[in-house]
Structure 1
C-alpha cells in the first residue's frame, strides 16, 4: 500500500513516538510510506534513514495556516496514497481538507480526548483505549467508524526477568516534563523514601518546560546525589536496563507508551490510577497508587523494595501481557487490516 502519515508537531512525546514507530514499521513491512512532518521534528533524521519512507517537511503556524494546507495538498497529490493517517489536531484538520479534495480515505488516531471540531472529513477513528471509544460515541461518531487498537512498542520483550538488586535499588521514570506528568510528586515521594532509610537512586528521563523547576526542587530536597536528570532518551531500552523499578507518577495519562516499554523490559511497575495504565494493566501485573498522593506513592515504592519476589512475579505477568497484546508484532497487523478494510470500502 501507499500510505501518507502526517504529524505536524516538532516535539517528541508519546504521540510523536507512535507516529515515528508506526511509519518505520510500515516501511519495514513493505509499504511505501510518505511522511509529512515539521522541518524541525526531532526524529526526522531517523525517518530519513529508513528505506521506503519518503519525507516531506514544512513549517506550520497552526491548523489554520493556508500555506501549510496548500503545501500538503501538493505533496499528497504527487504521492497519490491509498489513504492518509493523521496524528493530533493540527494534522487532522489539514489532512481532512486534503482528503476531501482528492477523495482519499482519512484515518486519525485519538492520542487523547480530542476536540472533534478539528476532525472533519474523517473516514475512520483508531481509538487508543475503550474509554476513548466511549468518548467518541458520546460525541456522535458512528460505532462503525471506530476501532480500538492500542499503542504499541517495537521493543521485542526480554526473555527473562531481571532480579531486583538487593542493596542498591534504582528507580526510573521518564516523559515530557510538564505538570500533568507528576514528576514533582515523584521527587517528593522519593525524598521521603530516602529519609525512611531505603538505599536508592532515581533516574528521570525526558525534557520540557518543567525541567528547571524540577531540578531546583531536587536541590531543595537535598537529592542532587541520588537523582539524575538524563534529558531526552536516545536509548530507552538501555536507560531501563540500568534500573530496577519503573514509576509512572502521571496526574493524567490517557495511555502511556512508557508503560509498554517498561513491561517489555520485564520491570516491576508502579503507576497512578489513571485511565491509560488502568486499561493496560491490573493489580496482578502492577502496583497502583492514587494520582497526586505522595504518601500513596511512597508506600508503594517501599513495598516493592521490601517484597521483591512478589514484584518479580507481577513483572513477569506484565511482560507476558505485553508480548500478547502490545508488541508491534501483534498491533501493526491490526492497523494494516483496518487500512485494507477502509480501502476496500472505498473501492
Structure 2
C-alpha cells in the first residue's frame, strides 16, 4: 500500500439504528478526522444515521438490521465494497467484524477491527489483519497476533479563554474529608461494565461520590 497518497477508507458499524452511543460517536469523530487529513472516507451503516454525517463523508446505507448471516445484508456489503474499492476496511464492533470477515478478501486489502467492549467471544476479529482495543481490559482479553491499545480520541477543550469556575477557590481550600465527586456516562448495559465500577467503588477507603448517567436494561440491577 502506497502510504504517501490519500487512502480510501471504509468504516463499517452494524448497530440497528435505534440509538447513538459511544461506538457510533467514535466512528463519527474518526470519519471527520480522517477526512480532515485528506482521505476519502466512506461510512457503511444503518440508514437512520445518514443525516448525522456531513456530505464530505460518503454514506452508504446497509440493511444491518438483518442478522449477520442474512444473504441480503452480505450481498449489499459486497456490492458496496465493489463500488468503494477501499484501501482499508475498518469494522467497529463484533457484528461488523464478522461481516467484514465474510466479505471476499479481494474487496479490501487491509482489514482492521475495533473492539469497543468486552464480549463473551472476540472470534469475529480473528480474520482482521489488525485489531484495536479501546481499553486495557479489552486489550488483555484479546487473542490476536497484531493487537493495539488505542483509546478513543476526544477534541481537547480550549480552556485558555474560559472564565474561572466559581468552585475553583473553594475546591483548592477544602480539607481531605471532602468527598471527591466523579461521574460516569454511558448505556446501562452489561457490555459497559458499570457493575464492575460499582463493585470497585465500594472498596475505596477515601470518601468519594459517584454519579452514573445513563439508561438501559441494567438500571434495576445497578440500582440494587
TM-score by length of 1: 0.47
- CA shift in 2, pair 1:179/1:69, >3 Å: closer
- d(CA) in 1 for partners of 2:191, 2:55: 34
Shift of residue 156, structure 1, vs aligned partner:
3.1
Shift of residue 102, structure 1, vs aligned partner:
2.4
Does 2:217 correspond to 1:290? no
Shift of residue 90, structure 1, vs aligned partner:
1.0
5+ long unaligned stretches in structure 2: 1-6, 171-180, 211-224
Tell me what 2:27 maps to.
Answer: 19
Tell me what 2:63 maps to.
Answer: 59
Q: Matched residue of 1:18: which SS?
A: helix
Does 2:209 correspond to 1:301? yes
**90, 97, 100: which one aligns with 2:95:** 90
**Root-mean-square deviation over aligned CA pairs:** 3.1
Q: Write 1 or 2 for the structure with the bigger share of helix.
A: 1
Q: Matched residue of 1:40: which SS?
A: helix
Does 2:56 correspond to 1:148? no
Shift of residue 73, structure 1, vs aligned partner:
0.7
5+ long unaligned stretches in structure 1: 183-249, 253-271, 274-288, 303-347
Structure 1 stretches of 4+ moved >6 Å: 179-182, 295-298
- CA shift in 2, pair 1:85/1:7, >3 Å: same
- Length, aligned pairs only: 187
- d(CA) in 2 for partners of 1:5, 1:54: 10
Does 2:130 correspond to 1:124? yes
Tell me what 2:42 maps to.
Answer: 34
Does 2:175 correspond to 1:175? no
- CA shift in 2, pair 1:180/1:84, >3 Å: closer
Deviations 1:202-234 (A, max 9, x none): xxxxxxxxxxxxxxxxxxxxxxxxxxxxxxxxx
Shift of residue 181, structure 1, vs aligned partner:
6.4
Contact 1:99 1:121 in 2 (8 A): no
